[in-house]
Amino acid sequence: MPLQTIFMKAIKFLGHFLKILPVENVWSFYLIDRYILSQLVGPLVFSVGLVSVLGVAIGYLSDLANKVVESNLPLIQALEIILLKIPEFTAYALPISMMLSTLLTYGRLSNDSELIALRVCGASLYRLVIPAFIVSLIMTGITFMFSELIVPAANYRVTSILVEHLQEERPYWQNKDIFYPDYEKVVLPDGSTEKQLKHLFFAEKFDGHKLETLTVLEWLEKKLNRIVVSDSATWNRQEETWDFFNGTIYQLAPDSSYQDTYSFKHRQLPLTKAAFEFAQQGRDPYEMNIFQAQKYMKILRVMEDEQKLRTFQVRIQQKIAFPFICVVFGVIGSALGTSPQYINRAIGFGLSVVVVFVYYLLGFLIGSLGLIGLVSPFIAGWLPNIIGLGIGVYLLYWFAES
């Protein structure tokens, strides 16, 4: 189906649903939609490019230059990092560009009295911002694709480069001192269940493929039953088991004394895969997509790491809510642009900076409340959007009735 046909049907549906446009006049108003769209596209594309470049230059280039000069980061890797950071700053640029483009476009239409002429012809102000609303929905989808499909993998690659060449550490990067307890549920005689420690994994290093200097303690009926010490171990995906190399198995008697000792070059043991997944997926929340983060949260629940679990719960809600900032900024920008006050490019850019700063400050404060548990993760992620959308709708109503 042609894009124009899809857009016309969307306009017709919204107009009929909102009862602000007679259905028989859809085609004539669709010409107005195409005109407003043509005015939006130019500033939108320009804003995305400008904000992305400024974001990379201001937000990361200076720090990267210091790493090249002071920490001897190879220039090739520095250039790779710059390219890898572009998707992240583009994802941030899309909502900001939606704000700037709608504010400038509707501000110009208002300053040139074109909005007045269109309203005289029978179009309400609500009807005239529908093109911006639809564009903001499209930008929401694009932002979500960037945030889920591109940005996490790119950020993870950046972290890998810095760890490899500068030995930098990250709070979630599990490259050394990996500690993982494995629990099992045991049914007690009275029918209740109790969680008991089954295995305890400890490895000194993890290179992304194998755990080095790994020690595994195994309990049986609340008694230490076996100790496995090996130089390295990895998960065998084909056979769904662990491969241990160059190690020793210590079998313990019920009184905790050594009963038997077995040395081996290679030994397969059917232990839980979760320990390997924990080391492999130990990333910053911004280095995971939503599916990876939810999978990692299952491991955190087993480990009962409430603080880190709450962090991931809040970050997931923020990741889901983030693309919808395009809708919030689209509504606010359209409302401010239709105000009777004269808005040139300088004023429009300044207003955009103020609105974006206030919004992200509000998001930071509410997100912090979520991280310390004062508000739920859902509220922490979505309340800034709800407040911003409410302000935008109120401003639009105010200017439409004035």
Strand stretches in 221-276, DSSP E: 223-236, 241-252, 258-269
- The confidence score (pLDDT) of residue 282 equals 63
> Model confidence over 213-222: pLDDT tens digits?
999 999 887 7
Q: Is the pLDDT assigned to residue 22 strictly greater than 70?
A: no
Q: What are phi and psi of 137, to 5 degrees?
A: -65, -40
Q: What is the pLDDT of residue 25?
A: 47
The more confident residue out of 342 and 75 is 75
> What residue ranges do the domains of the chain occupy?
3-168+318-401, 176-279
Task: Tell me the pTM.
Answer: 0.71
Helix crossing, 26-56 with 75-111: angle to 10°? 140
Bridge partners, 308 (sequence order): none
Predicted confidence at residue 175, as pLDDT, reads 64
Q: Residue 341: which pLDDT band, with cuts at 50, 70 and 90?
A: low
Lowest mean pLDDT segment, chosen from 40-49, 232-241, 348-357: 348-357
280-300 average pLDDT score: 77
Between 50-54, 74-78, 192-196, the lowest mean confidence (pLDDT) is in 192-196
pLDDT at position 342 over 70: no
Q: Place 183 in a pLDDT band, splitting at 50, 70 and 90.
A: confident
Using one digit for the tens of pLDDT, what is the confidence trace for 101-118? 998 888 888 787 777 777
Mean pLDDT over each residue of the chain, to the nearest integer: 82
Q: What average pLDDT does the segment 383-400 reach?
A: 89
Query: Would you state the structure tokens that stand for residue 353, as one six-digit string?
Result: 């900076």
Counted residue by residue, the chain has a size of 402
Residue 281 pLDDT more than 70?
A: no
Which tens digit of pLDDT belongs to each residue from 24-59?
A: 444 445 777 788 888 888 889 988 988 888 888 887
Residue 348, pLDDT score: 64
Instruction: Specify whether the CB–CB gap between 99 and 333 falls below 8 A.
Output: yes
Read off the pLDDT band of 91 (50, 70, 90).
very high
- Give residue 356's region: left, alpha or beta (phi > 0; psi -120 to 50): alpha
pLDDT band with cut points at 50, 70 and 90 for residue 345: low
Q: Which residues contact 282 (CB under 8 A, 6 or more apart)?
A: 172, 173, 174, 178, 296
